[in-house]
Amino acid sequence: MDHCPHSGTDNLVETTTTLANGSYFFKVVYGSGTERYLVRIDTTTLPTGSDFFGSDVLAVTITDGNVQLSQNDFGYESDIINAFEGYAFGDADSDTIFDGWESPISGVRIRLFEDDNCNGIRNSGDAQLDSTIVGPDGRYVFLQPYTSGGSNVCFITEVDLASLPTGSSLTTDNSEVASFTSGGNADQNNNFGISGGAVTALPVEWVHFDATLNNTNVELEWVTATEENNSHFEIQRSVDGDIWEILGQINGMGNTLSITTYNFVDAEPHIGVNYYRIKQVDFDGRFEYSKTIGINHTTQTMINEIKLFPNPSQQNVNISWKSKLLNGFVELLDLNGQVTKSYEIQNAAQTRMDVSDMQNGVYYIKVYNDDFESVKPLIIVR
């Protein structure tokens, strides 16, 4: 679908492809006055055998910023399209079943073949009809016209094993089959489980863990990006980093793919440096520790805290921390932990990073040197 401004001579501004759920969106920066756009559907990209109805162009008028226009829909109809769909997922318990809490796996290539003799086995006579790359939600879908007048039409999908994450392998069979005897049906149980390598999930994916001194209290905050089999968190404190005492316990989310924020207040910290860590405990009793952070109750000097502004950010993000670092680094990380930008800092307590060239999404800002490390999430929007 194209997104075009309407100003005498129409210029193509942006093109997008609908998501698996049929939705699409464009984000535009509002300037001033009245701005007019045309949204046009490329009807040549519709599924074979479908009939488009209505206009292929919709007019959009924007007179103010921060406006969400949601009624820009296009419709087509067909009673002969069959859908073959499924998920690629991190099979954490290796049971070959896609459980709702298991993580989707993107970037895997799925190929669709015709099963000419409907025997469920791909042979040299079965032609490849299509291929697709699994999206961020782990879902893939193939749409195929039904044209056989009551006869079975059979298909096979296969995973391109070369596209699996490094070191991982399938827990399910490498192929799935579907058979249709009429049009307008969907076969939705075609999932591929993957485990090992980079797919092996940690029980908790930590985003950040910080401590803040508020009058005489120490306020702890930690954020998780995902949780798997997470029973609870145990908050621990130490004055020497060797002997630890338990301050309290907070229940975890069990299994979730959403960002979750937790808070705990230590109302009676020791005078001097207090060290804190979080013990994360699974339902089966296994556990792991967060990193250890410290705060000086006497001098109110923070260890491990950075601030980001603005957040979300479109162009530049200002990054600051409590005290000057003689030398260190500031990095922008993607969701896979890959460094996309890196700045060296010297004798500074703040810096600015240009993120105008980055795509929309969630990233992490990391500030560190040999004695200091802090990470916070940054959202980039356009």
DSSP characters over 254-308: EEESS-EEEEEEESSPPSSEEEEEEEEEETTS-EEE---EEEETTT--BSS-EEE
Strands (E), 18-172: 35-40, 51-53, 57-62, 75-77, 81-90, 109-114, 128-133, 139-145, 153-159, 169-170
* Number of separate helices (H) and strands (E) present in the chain: 0, 27
**pLDDT value at 9 more than 70:** no
Give the model's confidence band at 14: pLDDT under 50 very low, under 70 low, under 90 confident, else very high.
confident
Range in 189-193, 218-222, 269-273 the model is least confident about? 269-273
Cα separation, 16 vs 26, in Å, equals: 8
Q: Which whole number is the average pLDDT over 94-103? A: 78
Cα separation, 232 vs 210, in Å, equals: 18
Q: What is the mean pLDDT of the chain?
A: 80
Q: What is the pLDDT of residue 198?
A: 60
Q: What is the pLDDT of residue 201?
A: 54
**pLDDT value at 70 more than 80:** no
In the chain, the percentage of residues whose pLDDT exceeds 70 is: 83
CA distances from 193 to 87, 161, 164, 262 (A): 8, 12, 11, 31
50 in Cβ contact with 76 (< 8 Å): yes
- Tell me the HSE value of 305 on the side-chain side, using a 13 A CA sphere: 17
Q: What is the pLDDT of residue 149?
A: 64
- Cis status of the peptide bond prior to 312, with omega within 30 of 0: yes
Q: Does the structural domain 81-198 have CATH classification 2.60.40.10?
A: yes
Q: Which residue has the higher pLDDT, 299 or 282?
A: 282
Q: Which whole number is the average pLDDT over 34-57? A: 72
Per residue in 224-259, pLDDT tens?
888 888 899 999 998 877 788 999 999 999 888 788
- Global model pTM greater than 0.95: no
Give the model's confidence band at 1: pLDDT under 50 very low, under 70 low, under 90 confident, else very high.
very low
Q: What is the pLDDT of residue 180?
A: 86
Domain 204-296 in CATH: superfamily?
Answer: Immunoglobulins (2.60.40.10)
Burial group, residue 318, by CB count within 10 angstroms (0-12, 13-18, 19+): middle
Q: What is the pLDDT of residue 150?
A: 65
Q: What is the pLDDT of residue 234?
A: 96
94 in Cβ contact with 171 (< 8 Å): yes
Q: Which whole number is the average pLDDT over 182-204? A: 77
Q: Which whole number is the average pLDDT over 283-302? A: 71
Per residue in 141-156, pLDDT tens?
888 877 766 678 889 9
Q: Which whole number is the average pLDDT over 359-374? A: 81
Q: What is the pLDDT of residue 48?
A: 55
Q: Can 204-296 and 306-380 be said to share one CATH topology?
A: yes
Q: What is the pLDDT of residue 300?
A: 39
Instruction: Please report where in the chains the tokens 């044209």 appear, as a residue.
Output: 147
Q: What is the pLDDT of residue 52?
A: 64
Handedness of CA 86, 89, 94, 98 (dihedral sign): negative
Q: Which residue has the higher pLDDT, 145 or 112?
A: 112
- CATH code of the domain made up of 306-380: 2.60.40.3080
Q: Which whole number is the average pLDDT over 87-110? A: 82
Give the model's confidence band at 341: pLDDT under 50 very low, under 70 low, under 90 confident, else very high.
very high
Cα separation, 329 vs 375, in Å, equals: 12
Q: What is the pLDDT of residue 157?
A: 93
**Could you state, in order of their start, the residue ranges of all structural domains in the chain?**
2-77, 81-198, 204-296, 306-380
Nearest one of 267, 261, 262 to 247, comparing CA atoms? 267
**pLDDT value at 108 more than 80:** yes
**pLDDT value at 287 more than 80:** yes
Q: What is the pLDDT of residue 69?
A: 67
Distance spanning both ends of the chain, measured CA to CA: 19
Cα separation, 364 vs 155, in Å, equals: 42
